[in-house]
Structure 1
Amino acid sequence: MWAIGVDLAWSPRNPTAAVALRWEEDHWEVEAWADDLGSDAEILGFLSPYREGSCIIGIDAPLIVPNEEGSRPCDREIASRFGRYHAGGYPVNRRWLRAFGGLRGEALAQALAAWGFTLNPPSVPQALIRTVIEVFPHPAAVILFGLRRMIRYKRLGRGLWIRGLRRWHRQLLTLEHFHPLLRWPEAWRSSLPDRKTRRALKAWEDRLDAAFCAYVAGYVWFYGPAGYEQIGDLQNGYVIIPRRIG
């Protein structure tokens, strides 16, 4: 069983990060990662080893966007419920996404459907499934970590950005004490990359986000419907938000 997270860049001109977790009897292990994926073909190349067998993929990007303008109902609800935590999202529509490079989430979901993946979240715990779900790290972090406010680490000045990344990294390391736990490799334990260039810091940020998306997907698989809330539907778009158990 694999759980994969994809922090999908809205334009292929920007790098996408992906992290694959492998289920090991009672916990998740980091199996593979990349933080420099460009085109859709490169993303599918990373995912291709997992096109057979049981797998759940959590993608941080809109996967179903039927509305040309305005906002999806699920995005409005998330903004209403999580805005006070600074964890609300943007209004999503097809016109807006085209301005950033296209409907990449929809295209990726359709490509995965050709591999036999569905957009249906798990209906029972720990099922043998092949599914892709839309996830949103900010509200997921508020719920799983019990945050009073989302940890800020995006679009900040260098000093605040580095402090935010360090705090976000420390928070993610606590997943080793969750159930199910995520066992981090030694390469991930340093709070920042050795080189602190803007590109290296952005790659680290994207990789952390992809790892959290993978964990959320794995958490949803492990607990099934008891472990998540589906905000929205398959017709108008939905986002899966985990429920904290234990």
Structure 2
Amino acid sequence: MSKKKDSLYIGIDLAWGEKNPSGFCVAKPSKNKLKILDVKLLNSIDEILDEILKYKDYKVHVGVDAPLVVPNDSGNRDIEKEFNKDFAKYKISMLPANKKLLTKYSPTIRSVGLFDKLNELGFKRDYKHDKVIFEVYTHSTVAMLWNNHEILPYKRKKGRNTEFIKTQLDIYKKYLLKEFYSHKILKEDLSTLKGKKLKDYEDMLDALTSAYSIYYCKKGDAKFYQVDGLDTFVTPISKWKVYVLKCADDTLYTGVATDLDRRLDEHNSSTKGAKYTRVRRPVELVYYENCADRVDASRREYEIKQLSRKEKLELINV
């Protein structure tokens, strides 16, 4: 592995207090998947820093499932306010992050301490740098990318017994197998786990998802949320889009897709392209909008199709 060229993706499911371990994962891209180099549980911030520093000669992207910048004494940060508004349609929300709440678990806010130390080592909230760090949120990643825009209920909660949790974790594990090459953690027999071991396993899966989040958001559909004017938290958003194509005969075609590049290629060179565009090639993408889900995309597609050509051109040129 070339240290100067290759990127590594580190996921941390950081425990808010010092009594519980944190999930930690290191992965590298290989073709269209991630290869797990290491996944484990760590206890202290110093242990986490030591593990990250092992890879100091590489391009390192760190995704932490915990609040990294907490300027407010109470209430919600702007991140939670904006995220909860955006994701209310999916019934997904973030817990408040503030100094009063987080110092109940530790005299100092562990995640802020980790961020400050990594910031001193050159980690920035910007994908343009070789050392990158962002907050991520496993629930929104799982929902947006794999679980049909719904929360996967794998966290322990009143009314969820151990067998139910195991069933959900098994679903979670299968989702991760689509994105990671096979590894012993993804072959774990959940029937043998209970109590703390089951919780530890959940934390390590969350570390994998945190690593995948920071990897996906570098290249995929993502939204950034800010603190003090700087991007701080990033999450995948819905892949669904409505788009408009300009055809070779100057007519306009409207459709929906989850992968615009693939769909444009199909319209131009495949029998999978729409019947309308197959006889009007080449076509070019002139407009698209992000949509909340398939239903929202189909609704917006219908609205655009009802517009006159003049109105469509006005939309495209906005």
TM-score by length of 2: 0.67
Equivalent position SS for 1:189: helix
| Separation in 2, partners of 1:83, 1:141 | 16
Q: Indicate the percent of aligned positions where both proteins have the same amino acid.
A: 24
> Is 2:59 aligned against 1:54?
yes
Query: Which is greater in Rg?
Result: 2
Q: Which residue of 2 aligns with 1:168?
A: 172
1:86-108 CA-to-partner distances (Å, cap 9, x unmatched) read 42111111111001213111110
Is 1:29–1:183's contact at 8 Å kept on the other side of the alignment? yes
2:103 to 82, 98, 102: 98
| Separation in 2, partners of 1:13, 1:53 | 31
TM-score by length of 1: 0.85
Q: Which residue of 1 aligns with 2:163?
A: 159
> Is 2:46 aligned against 1:41?
yes
1:125-164 CA-to-partner distances (Å, cap 9, x unmatched) read xxx6211110011112222125242110111321221112
Segments of 5+ residues of structure 2 without an aligned counterpart are 1-6, 240-257, 260-318
> Is 2:134 aligned against 1:133?
yes
Equivalent position SS for 2:205: helix
Shift of 1:116: 1.5
| Separation in 2, partners of 1:31, 1:138 | 23
Counterpart AA for 2:204: R
Q: Which residue of 1 aligns with 2:85?
A: 80
Equivalent position SS for 2:83: helix
Q: Which residue of 2 aligns with 1:178?
A: none
Q: Which residue of 2 aligns with 1:179?
A: none
Segments of 5+ residues of structure 1 without an aligned counterpart are 176-181
| Separation in 1, partners of 2:102, 2:117 | 18
> Is 2:222 aligned against 1:228?
yes
Is 2:74–2:98's contact at 8 Å kept on the other side of the alignment? yes
Is 1:219–1:242's contact at 8 Å kept on the other side of the alignment? yes
Shift of 1:232: 2.4
Bigger relative contact order, structure 1 or 2, given CA contacts below 8 A and separation 6+? 1
Q: Which residue of 2 aligns with 1:65?
A: 70
Shift of 1:9: 0.2
Is 1:73–1:236's contact at 8 Å kept on the other side of the alignment? no
1:150-205 CA-to-partner distances (Å, cap 9, x unmatched) read 11011132122111211211222222xxxxxx3232x1332544631312111110
Is 1:66–1:237's contact at 8 Å kept on the other side of the alignment? no
Counterpart AA for 1:157: N
